[in-house]
Structure 1
Amino acid sequence: MEWWLVYLLLGGTIGFLAGLLGIGGGLVMVPALTFIFTAQDFPPERILHLALGTTMATIVFTSLASLRMHHAHGAVNWWIVKYLSPGIILGTLVGSTLAGSLSTQALGIIFVIFIYYAATQMWLKIRPTSSHVLPGKVGMIVVGSLIGVLSSLVAIGGGLLTVPFLSMCNVKLQYAIGTAAAVGFPIAVAGTLGYIINGMLQAQSLPDSSLGYVYLPALGWIAIASMLTAPLGARVTHSMQSATLRKIFVILLYFLGTKMLLNLFQ
Structure 2
Amino acid sequence: MDLPLSDLLIFGGLLLAAGAVAGITAGLLGVGGGIVIVPVLWHLFSSIGIDEAVRMKVAVGTSLATIIVTSVTSVRAHHRRGAVDFDLLRSWGPWIFLGVLAGTALAGVVRGPVLTAVFAVVATVVSLHMGFGRQDWRIAERLPEGPPKSALASVIGAISAMMGIGGGTLSVPILTLFGYPVHRAVGTAAAIGFIIGIPGTIGFVISGWNAENLPPFSLGYINLIGFALIFPTSSLLAPVGARMAHGLNTKNLKRVFAVFLGLTALRMFHGLLF
Q: Same fold (TM over 0.5)?
A: yes
The equivalent position to 2:151 in structure 1, one of 142, 152, 155, is 142
Separation (CA, whole Å) in 1 of partners of 2:222 and 2:122: 22
Structure 1 equivalent of residue 4 of structure 2: none
Separation (CA, whole Å) in 1 of partners of 2:147 and 2:255: 39
Q: Is the 8 A contact 1:130 1:167 kept in 2?
A: no
The equivalent position to 1:193 in structure 2, one of 202, 217, 236, is 202
Paired residues, number: 265
Structure 1 equivalent of residue 163 of structure 2: 154
Matches within 5 A, 1:58-137: 58-126=66-134, 128-136=137-145
Distance 1:220 1:103, change over 3 A: same
The answer to whether residue 168 in structure 2 is matched with residue 164 in structure 1 is no
Higher mean alpha-carbon deviation, 122-131 vs 26-35, is at 122-131
CA offset digits 1:171-222 (Å, max 9, x no partner): 3332222212211210111211121121126x23433421111000011101
Shift of residue 261 of structure 1?
A: 2.1
Segments of structure 1 that go 5 or more residues without pairing to the other structure are none
Q: 3-state DSSP class of the match of 2:209?
A: helix
CA offset digits 1:31-75 (Å, max 9, x no partner): 221121233333331111111111111111222221111111011
Structure 1 equivalent of residue 255 of structure 2: 247
The answer to whether residue 38 in structure 2 is matched with residue 30 in structure 1 is yes
Matches within 5 A, 1:44-55: 44-55=52-63
Instruction: Report percent identity of matched pairs.
Output: 35
The answer to whether residue 260 in structure 2 is matched with residue 258 in structure 1 is no
| TM-score, with length taken from structure 2 | 0.89
Structure 2 equivalent of residue 233 of structure 1: 241
Higher mean alpha-carbon deviation, 167-176 vs 153-162, is at 167-176
The equivalent position to 2:26 in structure 1, one of 18, 29, 32, is 18
Distance 1:262 1:62, change over 3 A: same
CA offset digits 1:154-186 (Å, max 9, x no partner): 111112322233334433332222212211210
Shift of residue 8 of structure 1?
A: 0.7
Separation (CA, whole Å) in 1 of partners of 2:254 and 2:180: 24
| TM-score, with length taken from structure 1 | 0.92
The answer to whether residue 207 in structure 2 is matched with residue 181 in structure 1 is no
Q: 3-state DSSP class of the match of 2:246?
A: helix
Shift of residue 136 of structure 1?
A: 4.0
Separation (CA, whole Å) in 1 of partners of 2:180 and 2:22: 29
